[in-house]
Structure 1
Amino acid sequence: MAESKEMVIILTGASRGIGQAIAHHLLSQHHKLVLISRTHSALDQLHYQYGSDRVEVLAGDLADFSLAAKAVERANDRWGRLDALVVNHGTLDPVKKVADSTVEEWRTGFGVNVFSAVALVQAALPLLRKSHGRIIFTSSGASINAYQGWGCYGAGKAVLNHLALTLAVEEPLLTTVSVRPGVVDTEMQREIREVHRGAMSEGDAAKFQGLKRDGGLLKPELPGRVIARLAVAAGRELGGRFLNWNDGALKEFQEEA
């Protein structure tokens, strides 16, 4: 597909995995990014590789909801607009059965996975309405499938799917899409295999071990490219939908450049 004009995009979770792949694709197409990370150093390579004229890094924990407004302000002050928001961050914690977890653990998990996303959306809406922009959520298969110990994570991703639906109704000037990226070879997958396997069912733990052993994990660049292109060019017909990264409806976004 043809890439569009240069755009200004806020991207979270860009320091590794899918987020890093999204960042590389967008920056290689000369878009301008505000990248949010808990530490500036995690994104120094992107800043160095593509230059300060196209990369702004905002350091902080997204559980601090004021960071959302700061990111939007940074985009507006630096480039005078905002064309897209890509909400790609998240935590798997707490990985515990519902009976073994606490409400506070769920509150913390939702603070990272859900409430920070709402804060980002609310802060970005005024500028995105002006640009008729896009919001892309990186969701998960866990939003529609249950895994032992993943209740907080899966429920949070399900909220993002519904948030995309709601925004499609409430914000007709925007296009909002929720994307399931598949099982990707990321740091989170390593944590699933090495840190959290004891809290999961034997079958689920064996499944993820087998995917790594047998080469069944996706490279981050595959769904990353699709999500990046959706941020730039998703059409209104996709608004509110929850789609697999390799869904037929996204064929034009999957093609090699």
Structure 2
Amino acid sequence: MTETQEMVIILTGASRGIGQAIAHYLLSRSHKLVLISRNHAALDQLHYQYGSDSVEVLAGDLSDFSLAAKAVDIANDRWGRLDALVVNHGTLDPVKKIADCSPEEWRKGFDINVTSAVALIRAVLPSLRKTRGRIILTSSGAAINAYQGWGCYGASKAVLNHIALTLAVEEPDVTTISVRPGVVDTEMQREIREVHNKSMSEKDAAKFLGLKKDGGLLKPEQPGHVIAKLAVSGKTELSGKFLNWNDGVLAEFQEAL
């Protein structure tokens, strides 16, 4: 797969884990990024390493839906176009059984994982229609598998998958793909093992502990680089699909790591 044209991409969740791997991949290949983070300091290293010509940071909490339009304005004002949106942020909270969780906690979880994504998508669509661009959604296996205490998270990721399906119908000039990144060695996994394990079933807690202990976790670069490449050159025929990062149809986007 060849990548020639420099792309302008909005990326969320870039301060660590998969998002950071996506950012490094894209910036090392001269693409331009608007990064949304709760604080600028978390992304200072990317600014320092790649320079202000390639990176713009918008500081704020994505539950402030006005950030979406601001990010689009930055991309268009700075580089004159927008080619892709990567929605990679999210929270596992609240990790509680449905019987023990308040509606307000679910609302907060959905505001972070779903409603902010809708705000971003709505804001980018006019620009992406012009460039026949792409929207890549970082989903989860929890969208199709149930874990005790993960109801809000899993349901929110299932919504993202359906948003991809809907956009494939409603926005034929924009390619939207939902990606399952697998179980990755990230801060979220540490929290699952050390904090949220108390709210999970013993079986599920043991599963995630064993993956770390036995070296079964993926490196962030493995799914991260696939997501980055899809943002640059994901094909129209993939639009609306929910795909594992290592699915056979994504072979050209994968690499040995």
TM-score, normalised with respect to structure 1: 0.99
1:127-206 alignment runs, 5 A limit: 127-206=127-206
Deviation track 1:195-237 (CA, whole Å, cap 9, x = no partner) reads: 1001000000000000000000000000000000000000111
Unaligned runs of 5+ in 1: none
Counterpart of 1:226 in 2: which secondary structure? helix
Aligned equivalents of 2:46, 2:148: Cα separation in 1: 36
Match of 1:104 in 2: 104
Residue 10, structure 1, aligned to residue 10, structure 2:
yes
Matched residue, 1:72: 72
Separation in 2, partners of 1:135, 1:44:
25
- Could you list the runs of 5+ residues in structure 2 that have no partner in the other structure? none
Measure, in 2, the Cα distance between the counterparts of 1:48 and 1:116.
28
Whether the 8 Å CA contact 1:4–1:232 is kept in 2: the answer is no
Matched letter for residue 164 of structure 1: A
Contact 1:4–1:233 (Cα < 8 Å) also in 2: no
Partner of 1:241: 241
- Correspondence for 2:124: 124
Deviation at 1:3, TM superposition (A): 1.2
CA distance in 2, matches of 1:89, 1:115: 12
1:47-58 aligned at under 5 Å gives the runs: 47-58=47-58
1:56-100: CA deviation from partner (whole Å, max 9, x where unpaired): 000000011001111111111111110000000000000000000
Q: Secondary structure of the equivalent of 2:11?
A: strand
Give runs of aligned pairs for residues 220-239 of structure 1, distance below 5 A: 220-239=220-239
SS in 1 for 2:82: coil
Q: Tell me the matched-pair count.
A: 257
Asked if structure 2 preserves the Cα contact closer than 8 Å seen for 1:9 and 1:84, the reply is yes
| Distance of 1:194 and 1:185 partners within structure 2 | 14
Deviation, 1:241, is: 0.2
Aligned to 1:210: 210
Deviation at 1:128, TM superposition (A): 0.4
CA distance in 1, matches of 2:70, 2:152: 27
Stretches of 4+ aligned residues off by more than 6 angstroms: none
Matches within 5 A, 1:14-93: 14-93=14-93
**Matches of 1:176 and 1:215, distance apart in 2:** 32
Measured after TM superposition, the shift of residue 4 of structure 1 is 3.2
2: distance between equivalents of 1:3 and 1:48?
24
Is this contact kept in 2: 1:142–1:153, CA < 8 A?
Answer: yes
What TM-score, normalized by structure 2, do the two folds share? 0.99
